[in-house]
Structures are given as structure tokens and as C-alpha cells.
Amino acid sequence: MGGAPEPGMAIARVGERPPRAAGRLNERLAAGGVAVFLLLLPLTAPWPVYSGPPWGIGPGLTTTTLSVVPASAGVLALIAAGLLRRRPVRLGRAAAFLAPLLALALLGLATAPFALLPELAWYAALHWVIAVGAYLLLTQSAVPPERVVSILVAGLGVQALIGIGQFALGRSLGLIGEMPFGPGHPLTPLVRAADGRAWLRASGLMVNPNVLGGFLAVAILLALPLLRRLWVRAVWWLLWAGLLVTLSRSAWLALLLTAPPAIGWLAYRQPELRAALRSAVAGLICVLLLGAYWIAPPASARLQPPGSLSAIERGSLASREGSAQVALGVVAARPLTGVGAGNMTLLLAAQNDAHIYSHAHNVVLQLAAEVGVLGGAIWIWMWLAPAAWMWWRRHRLTGWGLVAGHAWLAMGVINLFDAYFWVLDAGRLLTMLVLALLSQAIAAGAEPAAEA
């Protein structure tokens, strides 16, 4: 007592936190940063920030929106989480998709000087770089996949509940960040039958029903290894109910193609999950039967042959076709540089056509038109390479690799008909999250234990 400290013994200053306690606190704060990122991720509904036209690109784009702000705040939380961990970067966990993602970001930067509006291209390319940074941070996160997916599923469960309320009432619920949809709003996503009846498609706190549908489809697939948890199973059924009332055909198709093989493959690979999966599927059948009765009239209106569709549905298809034709024209005219990252919005706005959307509704076509055919080719490789990997590793595929791979394939199907998984900041960041989960599974080669 009172003697000199032993060699190598650290002397703690008064008020100094012990190193291990500080490390645990940093880990908790880092996990909190990841949770903030995941909870802010789905908030995409646009809120006006100022009334002047950004970059002077005309009356078609008279406001910027706050839709980027929740996503940006989430990225800041993610960066803070990465700094708090103070661990060396392990690039091996990000190796699967880091090179193609960096290539897309560099293409955005390299083609910016040749863009129709270079300022807009630099701005968009910077957001691509930020997304790649988010991917790298997510691959380095110490938060286990089951916790990441649990938080994502819980947040999207709230979105599904809001969407169900919107569909049931036929209007917005008046929540902060909700699109002001109503009978007289020009952007209200209605489904109208030939006899004049109309239904409001669910959007949650997102900009569009299709965006909500795509997010829910991804969460439904990622949640499969966690269905032994009763609360996850209940929210899983809620996600399916929310998906139904989005009336999103692309999300429905994506799940139709990927959910059955994912469930069957997971049941084969993890016998301990079979009872939970059987219970979940039994409940899902009840949800689908009840939901089909509820949404049968608007679903019938959405799924009619083109010649029998209402004027609203025909206008939607005409808009998609017109946007795709413009993008194809750009690819033919500027195959190497495109019109610049983010500049498809500018080009399509200049068409002054009510049946033209602000993007090409196909990610491959969108990227080829914005940064050249090499950008589209990179995306095709990124979509199909995981399918080849899953087949090659089919006998030793991990549970998280399986569901993340199927979620990525589902996103690829949706990307054939919509571009929000790349055009929207939130959609791009969800893409990074799914790729990070898949890349971690590829690098680890061992399956994390799914908690009961």
C-alpha cells in the first residue's frame, strides 16, 4: 500500500474513465448512431425548403426538398458511429462491392464537366460518393445483422401502419413529414376503376407508394432469419399488409419471385427455423386472404390489360414509356459521358410533357443516360454477380447471406421498373445497407446466430 505501482500498471487520473468503460460507452454510442441512421432512412416525403428554382432549371422544379435531410442526418450519425469505434478499417468486409461502387462514384465525378448542368452533376456525384462512404461504414459496423434488421423492421412497421390508415381513410393522416394527399391534390396517388371509383394508395411517410412498397419488400426478406421472435413475426405480417395497400406492382412481382425460394432455402439450411417459418407462412396466408378481399377492387383496376386500364393508369404507363424513350435517346447520342449525374431530371423537366416523369424508371437505363453505358454495365454486373455467388456457395450459404442476396435480387427486379433505389437518397442508402449485409456475409463465411 502506498508503494510505487507495478511496472506496466496504468495510473488513472482523477475523474478519468477507465479504458474498458470508455470503450463500452463508445460502442453503445456507435450502435446508437447506426440505429438513428436506420430509423431516419425511410423518411423520404418531400418538405419544401425554399421557393426559388434550384440552379434556375425552370418552373417544373420550383422547390428543393427536405427529403435529403433525414437521410443526411442519418449518414452523419453513421459517420459519428464509425469515429467512436476507433477500430482499424477492415476492407475485406467491404471488398465484394467496393470497387464497382467506387467506379460509379468516380464516373459521376469524371463526367460532371461534360454534363448539361455541371453544378447539378457535381452535387449528385457528391451524394454518390457519400453513399459509397455509408457502404464502407456499414460494412465496418460492429452492430450484428440481427440488430440492424430488427431496427429496420420496427421502423418500417410504423410506416406500414401509417400506410394502412391512409388506405382505409382515403386521405393523409396529417402527420409531420407526410405527403398532403387528398381528393383535390394533383399528386394524390389514386387508383381509379373504369366505373369512376377511386382508392388512395398507401405511401406512409414516403414520397410515393412504390417507394414504400420497395422498402417493405426488402424488410420482409431481411426479417426471415428473425421470425422465431414473436414480435418480429407480428410485424412481418404487418409489413405484408402494408405492402398490399401500396398496390405496388413491381414490389409484388419482386416478392413473388424471391420470397418463396428464400423461405424454402432458409428452411432447408436452418432446420431450427422451420417451426417459426411454418407459423409465419400460415399467418401470412390469412393476411393475404383477408387483404385480397379488402384490396380486390383497386388491385383489379391496377392489373387490367393495357387496353382496359383507366385513364390514370394509361397515363402512368405513357409517362414511363416517354421517360424511357428520352433516356434511350440520350444513350444513343452520348454513350460515353451521358448528360451528367442527376441531369436526367433536368432533361426530362425540359420536355414540358405531362406524361414524362423525372427519371427513367429503370436504374440501368438511368445510369447509362447519366454517366454513360459503362455505368449501366457496372450496375448489371452488381445485380447479377451475387446470384452467381449464391449458386456457387449454395451448399454453405449463410442465413444472412441468403436473405441479403434475395433482398438484392428483389431490388434488382424492382429496378427494372423504378429507379428510386438509386435516384432517391434514401433508396440509395438502403441499397448500400443491403449490399453491406451481403458483403459482410460473403467476407465472414460464417453465419451469425439468429436470436430467438
Highest mean pLDDT among 110-124, 191-205, 305-319: 110-124
For the stretch 142-189, pLDDT in tens is: 889 999 999 999 999 999 999 999 999 888 888 877 876 666 666 678
What 8-state DSSP symbol labels residue 171? S
- 328/125 Cα distance (integer angstroms): 21
In this model, does residue 1 exceed pLDDT 80? no
Residue 241 makes CB contacts below 8 A (sequence gap 6+) with: 160, 164, 287, 291
Going 17 to 23 to 28 to 29, the CA torsion angle's sign is positive
Comparing 155-159, 265-269, 274-278, which segment has the lowest mean pLDDT?
A: 265-269
Place 94 in a pLDDT band, splitting at 50, 70 and 90.
confident
Comparing 86-100, 234-248, 289-303, 308-322, which segment has the lowest mean pLDDT?
A: 308-322
- Considering the chain, what is the average pLDDT of its residues? 81
Domain boundaries, the chain: 27-444
- 306/63 Cα distance (integer angstroms): 34
The stretch 130-145 carries a mean pLDDT of: 89
Higher pLDDT, 317 or 377: 377
Residue 351 makes CB contacts below 8 A (sequence gap 6+) with: 322, 326
In this model, does residue 190 exceed pLDDT 90? no
- 151/241 Cα distance (integer angstroms): 19
For the stretch 37-88, pLDDT in tens is: 888 888 775 544 333 444 433 333 333 333 455 666 777 777 777 666 666 7
In this model, does residue 397 exceed pLDDT 80? no
In this model, does residue 11 exceed pLDDT 60? no
Beta bridge partners of 200: 190
The stretch 348-357 carries a mean pLDDT of: 66
| Prediction pTM value | 0.86
Q: How many CA atoms lie within 13 A of 30 on its CB side?
A: 20
